[in-house]
Every structure is written in structure tokens, then in C-alpha cells.
Chain A
Amino acid sequence: MTKPVLEVKGLHKSFGALQATKNVSLDLKPNEIHALIGPNGAGKSTLIGQIAGWITPDSGSIYLDGEDVTSETVASRSRKGLGRSFQVSSLAMEVSARRNVMLSVQASQGSSFRFWKQTKSDEELRETARNWLRKVGLSGREDIAVSELSHGERRQVEVACALALAPKALLLDEPMAGLGPTGSIQLTEFLEEIRPEIPILLIEHDMDAVFRLADRITVLVGGAAILSGSVDEIRASALVREAYLGEEA
């Protein structure tokens, strides 16, 4: 029995009469990619919001590496090892890719209440950030403003930011969106590569990528996790076809 890195237990969330999350439980074990799929409006974003810390659940708990983080802030969860990327990249657009990653590196090194030393001449900080960008395949693009990078490159910067915090788990929200076929294949390879080090909870619409990458799939419909199983089980399930694949394919 391997201990799950990330565990969600009995999560509930309602907005008025709308039950956006109904008793959802799922976990993420070491070395695995666990995909979360579901049609539009299934409550994926609300669930992600609760796991990342933007939305407070009505009840239920979230554990990161065995520790209850349900009442921790977003920043605190990031520091404790929950890395994430967004459906629409969320970066400081005006500054360079390197600057974005430097911020994560500085957070991983401790307090940001350092007022005098200039980051511009902090070679260690800059070099560490450059290394993370190299790792995600952005060598030579470090000094370009994020606003001038492509969608795919921004996603790579986000992943570099997440990796710089030495995450225990990654939460990737539709990383393939807007990438195009080549970018999609490259990212798939990259996720394969980091899977042994960092397990990934993957929210994705691209079914090819999901079926190729995922070890386990959980299907979310109407706020509830209706099914969880291996790729083959999900493919074979009539329930899923009806609720999800039928609509899409």
C-alpha cells in the first residue's frame, strides 16, 4: 500500500441551490497520472479551486502528503508542495519568463521579506531559474517577456514555476488547451518524463492525451465522481459513454 500524495475526502460545495461538488473523494498516488474528466459544467473547475485553495469547501478535507491542508491558503499549499498550472496561463505578463520563475525560486528559498539585496545581481537566483526553464525546454527564451511568448511556451513557464517549488504533486488544468498537435505531443512526452518524480492530477479535454498518459481516470458528472478506474475500464463503461464520451464523440 503506497500512501497517497494528495487525497480528497468527501468534498461538498454548493453555490446557492447549485451543488457544484457532491461528496467527491479521490487520491493521487506516487508515480501516477490520475486524469479527471467530465463534460462542461461537471464541476471540474470548482473541484480544482477547492484543491488549490481558492474556494473553501462546505465540508470534507484535503490532505497533501498526509497533512490536512483544508484551511491553508493558496500560497501555503504551494509552499507545501502543490504545484499547478492554469487553464489560461496565469503569469506576470510584463516581465520575462526568467523573472516569473525567479519568484518561485525565491519563495522556495524562504522569506520574501528581504529588502536590500538586488535580485538583478543575485546570480544564484537567476541561474536556478534558468535551469528550470532549460528543464522544461525553454533555453534561450528566458529573457523574453511572457506577453510575447506563445500559449505553449507560457504553459511551459508555468510548469517551470511549479517545478521550482519542488512540488510533491502537480495539478494541471487542461495543459493541452491551445497547444496544437506538435506542442501537445511534446508536452505529453514531458509529462511522461516527470511522472516518476512527481505524480500529476490531470484535468484534460484531449481524450487521446488522457488515454495515453493516465494510469487512472475519474469521471466527474454533475458534481459527483460517478466512476473511477483504469483506462480500459473507463473506455468500456457504458455509463461514461452515455454521460461523457457519447456527447463528445
Chain B
Amino acid sequence: MQRTDTAPKPVSMPKLSRETIVNIAVMAILLALPLWASSIGEDYYVNLASLITIFAIAGVGLNFAIGQGGMVSFGHAAFFGIGGYTTGIAAFHSFEETLFVAMPFAISGTNQMLIIWIVAMVICGIAALAIGAISLRTEGVYFIMITLAFAQMIYYFAISWPTYGGEDGLSIYLRNQLPMVDAESALTFFLVCFILLLGAIFVSARLSGSRFGAALGTARMNETRLATSGIDPFPIKLTGFVISAMITGLAGALFAELNGFVGPSMLSWHRSGEIMVFVILGGVGRLYGPVIGAALFVLLETYIGEWTQHWQLLLGLALLGVVLFARGGVMGMIAGRARHD
């Protein structure tokens, strides 16, 4: 609350809010650690940073639905998994040199990440359009449950599809390729993920500040107001849901690359819960919140999980603390309440 310095400043620097400083610090740490780890040849930590980054992207996607549009989706694992399976299936057909679809058009697999990302996002968008069109007719707890139900449907579908591994999942034997850079290198792959995270946050911020974002934000705060102002809430919310799903789908595609594997666990409801934990832990509606949330989650899992398999107890306590005492998540604790204009 120290915003009352009225002394005239001859040269006024653009004053950074505390949240901006936290954002910059978080991203700087996330970038610096793997650079350092790579320089001493510890690729393990680089991959850990990649995992945080990928989870953060998934969280940024869900955060757009929850924090901006007020749509508490408990089924975002569907999009995470669809992104992952798109990668796996494309790589599978590319590796086996078989066709994905033979009739009426021949669609072959590919090992080009750029193409896979676009296809993954498009497929997620279409899936979200269908799921959202039905789910968004409900509200509150019903919306949570129906998104969960859709994700479970896709989960069981993946399990019962033997062509692509069924319950065993699908290995990606060779990491897919990017033009000009060596995606096999752990550090390069991290940097690619990091840039995509920045891109996802940037897009999310731009959209939130646009006319569309104003409408979507009002859908969260007061849907009656939105309709009374002459804007139909449904198409606005559906569009927001689709955008959210596409971002999370991209994260799923990257996750499959990182692990060299896709399995039904990517689609399970645990995963939906985890993505939601990133958002809540970091701070709902805070642009960089999911980065903090994902980092805490991965670090707890890695380091506490090292000496006890009950690390989730600690995660649960952390989550409880955040929900009870810091409505704005960790970001809220450090940077104070979100500011609106």
C-alpha cells in the first residue's frame, strides 16, 4: 500500500508494480537455472526446468478459462492429452512410414514439431468447441462435473484404442524436429518451451486487454451485466474456452516430446486436478501465477518426493494454506491483490 510518494520526480521512470517485479524475477530464475545447469553438464535439471515450463503453459491455458472467463474446467487434461496424442500419433506414423488416414485423402505422419503444434492446437480447438458448446449450458458445480465427464470419456477412448498403445501408451522413439535448431539438445528444447511460455503469456495478456477480454471478464464477474450491455455471453465464453484449450493442448504436445512418450495418464482426471493446482497455487487470474504454481508443484514432487512418497500431503497443506489464507495464491501473498482499472 506504499503508493503515496507524491514528491515530484523530474525524470519519471515507468514505475514497476510489485507484481511486475515478481514476474520478472520468476522468469529470470526459470531461465537462469537451466542455463547454469547446462553449463555444468547437468541435463537432468534442464529437463526439470522444461517440465516446469510446460506445466506452466498448461496452467496459463487453464488460467485463461478460470481467471478471465470464470469457467472452472475440471477437464483440461482432455486437451493436454489430445495435444500429447497428436504428437505421439504423428511421430508413430512418421516412424513407421504408414498413413494416418488413407481415404479419402492420404494423411501421413510427420516429425516436424511446428506442424504438429498447429495440428494439435487445431484439434484441441475443435474438441473444445464441442465440449464447450454442451458444457457451457451449465454453470457452477455442473460445469465442473460435465467437463470432468468429457475428459473421462476421452480417457477411456484412449485406453481402448489398441492401435495407439491402449493402456500402455505410445513411445516416441526419436524426438520430433524443428527447423534450424537441434531439438534433441535438452537446453535447446528448454529454450523453445520457454519462448512458447512467453508467447502464451503474451497472447493471454493481449486477449485479456482487448474488447473480447473485457466481455469475457464481465462474463466472469456478472453475466447479467454482459447480456444487459447487449453482448451474448455464450459465444464469448465458448471462444474463451476454445482459446484456453488450445494453449493447454500446446503444452500437452511439448510434454509428449519431453518424455518421449504419451499414455492415457496424460488424460486422467488427476492431470486435470494438477493443472488446476498450478493455477490456484500461483494465483487465479494472475498472468504469471501458473509459472509459480507449476514450479512449486514440480519442486515439491521432485525434492520432497525424494525422501517420502507422501509428498502430496505437503502439497495438500500448501494448497489448503493458499485457499484459506491467501485467496490470490502465492502471487497474491507476494504482490498483493490484483489491481483492476
User: Closest Cβ of chain A: how far from B18's Cβ, in Å?
Assistant: 19
Greatest chain A CB density within 10 A among B206, B226, B228 is at B228
Contact A96 B340 (CB under 8 A): yes
User: Closest Cβ of chain B: how far from A75's Cβ, in Å?
Assistant: 4
Name the A residues within 8 Å of B211 (CB-CB): 106, 112-115, 117, 119
Contact B222 A73 (CB under 8 A): no
Interface residues of A in 139-157 (CB under 8 A from B): 143, 145
A209 interface hit (Cβ, 8 Å): no
Contact A73 B232 (CB under 8 A): yes
> Given A78-B229, A161-B228, is A112 in contact with B340 using a C-beta cutoff of 8 Å?
no
B306 interface hit (Cβ, 8 Å): no
Contact of B227 among A75, A100, A114 (CB under 8 A): A75
A209 to B341, CA, bound (A): 35
A165 interface hit (Cβ, 8 Å): yes
> Given A90-B225, A95-B341, A99-B341, is A115 in contact with B232 using a C-beta cutoff of 8 Å?
no
User: Closest Cβ of chain B: how far from A56's Cβ, in Å?
Assistant: 15
> Given A102-B214, A106-B214, A118-B209, is A79 in contact with B230 using a C-beta cutoff of 8 Å?
yes
B224 interface hit (Cβ, 8 Å): yes
B261 interface hit (Cβ, 8 Å): no
Residue of B nearest to A79 (CB): B230
B177 interface hit (Cβ, 8 Å): no
A229 to B229, CA, bound (A): 32
Interface residues of B in 200-214 (CB under 8 A from A): 206-207, 209-214
B236 interface hit (Cβ, 8 Å): yes
Interface residues of B (CB under 8 A from A): 206-207, 209-215, 217-218, 221-222, 224-233, 235-236, 239, 340-341
A120 interface hit (Cβ, 8 Å): yes
> Given A92-B217, A93-B221, A95-B340, is A161 in contact with B210 using a C-beta cutoff of 8 Å?
no
Name the B residues within 8 Å of A15 (CB-CB): none
A103 interface hit (Cβ, 8 Å): yes
Specify the main secondary structure of chain B where it touches its partner: helix
Contact B227 A103 (CB under 8 A): no
Q: Mark A34-53, 1 if CB is under 8 A from B, else 0.
A: 00000000000000000010
A70 interface hit (Cβ, 8 Å): no
Contact A92 B210 (CB under 8 A): no
User: Closest Cβ of chain A: how far from B145's Cβ, in Å?
Assistant: 25
A29 interface hit (Cβ, 8 Å): no
26 pairs, CB–CB < 8 Å, chain A vs chain B = A52-B228, A73-B232, A75-B227, A75-B230, A76-B230, A76-B232, A78-B227, A79-B230, A90-B222, A91-B222, A92-B221, A92-B222, A95-B221, A99-B340, A103-B214, A103-B218, A103-B225, A103-B231, A112-B211, A115-B210, A119-B209, A119-B210, A119-B213, A120-B209, A143-B341, A161-B228
Contact B209 A92 (CB under 8 A): no
Name the A residues within 8 Å of B235 (CB-CB): 113
A94 to B206, CA, bound (A): 20
A107 interface hit (Cβ, 8 Å): yes
Name the A residues within 8 Å of B341 (CB-CB): 95-96, 99, 120, 143
Residue of B nearest to A122 (CB): B211
A115 to B231, CA, bound (A): 15
> Given A92-B217, A113-B239, is A107 in contact with B209 using a C-beta cutoff of 8 Å?
no
Contact A112 B214 (CB under 8 A): yes
Contact A90 B228 (CB under 8 A): yes
User: Closest Cβ of chain B: how far from A231's Cβ, in Å?
Assistant: 30
A13 interface hit (Cβ, 8 Å): no
Residue of B nearest to A92 (CB): B221
Name the A residues within 8 Å of B210 (CB-CB): 114-119
User: Closest Cβ of chain A: how far from B67's Cβ, in Å?
Assistant: 12
Name the A residues within 8 Å of B236 (CB-CB): 112
Interface residues of A in 79-113 (CB under 8 A from B): 79, 84, 86, 90-96, 99-100, 102-104, 106-108, 112-113
Residue of A nearest to B211 (CB): A114
Residue of B nearest to A84 (CB): B228
Residue of A nearest to B221 (CB): A92
Residue of A nearest to B341 (CB): A96
User: Closest Cβ of chain A: how far from B329's Cβ, in Å?
Assistant: 17
A74 interface hit (Cβ, 8 Å): yes
User: Closest Cβ of chain B: how far from A100's Cβ, in Å?
Assistant: 7
User: Closest Cβ of chain B: how far from A130's Cβ, in Å?
Assistant: 13
> Given A93-B221, A99-B340, is A107 in contact with B212 using a C-beta cutoff of 8 Å?
no
Contact B232 A94 (CB under 8 A): no
A74 to B225, CA, bound (A): 10
Name the B residues within 8 Å of A165 (CB-CB): 229-230
Name the B residues within 8 Å of A92 (CB-CB): 217-218, 221-222, 225
Name the A residues within 8 Å of B228 (CB-CB): 52, 74-75, 78, 84, 86, 90, 161-162
Greatest chain A CB density within 10 A among B210, B211, B235 is at B211
Name the B residues within 8 Å of A73 (CB-CB): 227, 232
Other contacts beyond A92-B217, A95-B217, A165-B229: 17, CB < 8 A: A74-B228, A75-B227, A75-B232, A91-B225, A96-B341, A99-B341, A103-B215, A112-B214, A112-B236, A114-B210, A114-B212, A116-B210, A118-B206, A119-B214, A161-B225, A161-B229, A165-B230
